[in-house]
Structure 1
Amino acid sequence: MQKGTQEYEEALEAVIEILRSRARQGAAPISYGDLSGELARRGHHVPAHDGPMPYLLEDASVRESPDGSLPLLSALVVLKDTGWPSGGFFKLARRAPYKRPGDDVALWTREIERLAEHYATR
């Protein structure tokens, strides 16, 4: 699956839909493996830790919040072993235009809270 192809765009839309739904339901995190499984059920082969997954997650956040004003959907996706997002999430959250402050715990906690609040009525 290559970025910029119809296959990628369809998988990206599915990722956004899945993560929006999670955010609406209280912003409970989902593991990479469970997200991969949900994508497979929708006809998209996206391995949990290889290939396009990190790009899809970054693009989902960028598409939802291009100017950095909205919470990052990718905060919902966590590593099964730790229950925490991968380092890629924190790198995205700290770069422009997002520039989220605080240590990892504060940043992630605040982002999850913002997701639940923002999507509660959407």
Structure 2
Amino acid sequence: MQKGTLEYEQALDAMIEILRSRARQGAALIPYGDLSSELRRLGHHVPAHEGPMPYLLEDASVRESPDGSLPLLSALVVLKESGWPSGGFFKLARRAPYKRAGDDVLLWTREIEKLAEHYADR
């Protein structure tokens, strides 16, 4: 699956819908493996820890908040072993236009709270 292809865009659309649904459920976290399984159920082959997964997660956040004003959907996706997002989430959150402040705990906690609040009525 290559970025910019119809296959990629369809997987991205599916990922965004899955993550929006989780955000509406009080910002319910989802492990990478479960997200991969959910995408597979919808017809998209996206391995949990390789291939297009990191690009799709970044693109989901960027598409949802291109100017950095909305919370990052990718904050909901966590490593099963630790219950934390990968380093890619924190890199995205700290770069322009997002520029989220605070240590990892504070940054991620705020992002989850903002997701729950933003999607509560959607």
Alpha-carbon separation, structure 2, partners of 1:101 and 1:107: 6
Q: Name the SS of the counterpart of 2:19 in structure 1.
A: helix
Q: Name the SS of the counterpart of 1:90 in structure 2.
A: helix
1:2 partnered with 2:25: no
Deviation at 1:92, TM superposition (A): 0.1
Q: Describe how 1:1-122 pairs up with structure 2 within 5 A.
A: 1-122=1-122
Deviation at 1:7, TM superposition (A): 0.1
- Length-normalised TM-score, structure 2: 1.00
Alpha-carbon separation, structure 2, partners of 1:100 and 1:50: 26
Deviation at 1:13, TM superposition (A): 0.2
Q: Deviations over 1:22-51 (max 9, x none)?
A: 000000110000000000000000000000
Counterpart AA for 1:67:
D
Q: Deviations over 1:53-76 (max 9, x none)?
A: 000000000000000000000000
- Length-normalised TM-score, structure 1: 1.00
Unpaired segments ≥5 residues, structure 2: none
Alpha-carbon separation, structure 2, partners of 1:7 and 1:58: 17
Alpha-carbon separation, structure 2, partners of 1:62 and 1:120: 20
Q: Name the SS of the counterpart of 1:4 in structure 2.
A: coil
Q: Name the SS of the counterpart of 2:97 in structure 1.
A: coil
Alpha-carbon separation, structure 2, partners of 1:71 and 1:50: 24
Alpha-carbon separation, structure 2, partners of 1:59 and 1:86: 15
After the TM superposition, list the runs of 4 or more consecutive aligned residues in structure 1 that deviate by more than 4 angstroms. Answer: none
Deviation at 1:115, TM superposition (A): 0.1
Q: Name the SS of the counterpart of 1:71 in structure 2.
A: coil
Alpha-carbon separation, structure 1, partners of 2:14 and 2:28: 18
Deviation at 1:111, TM superposition (A): 0.1
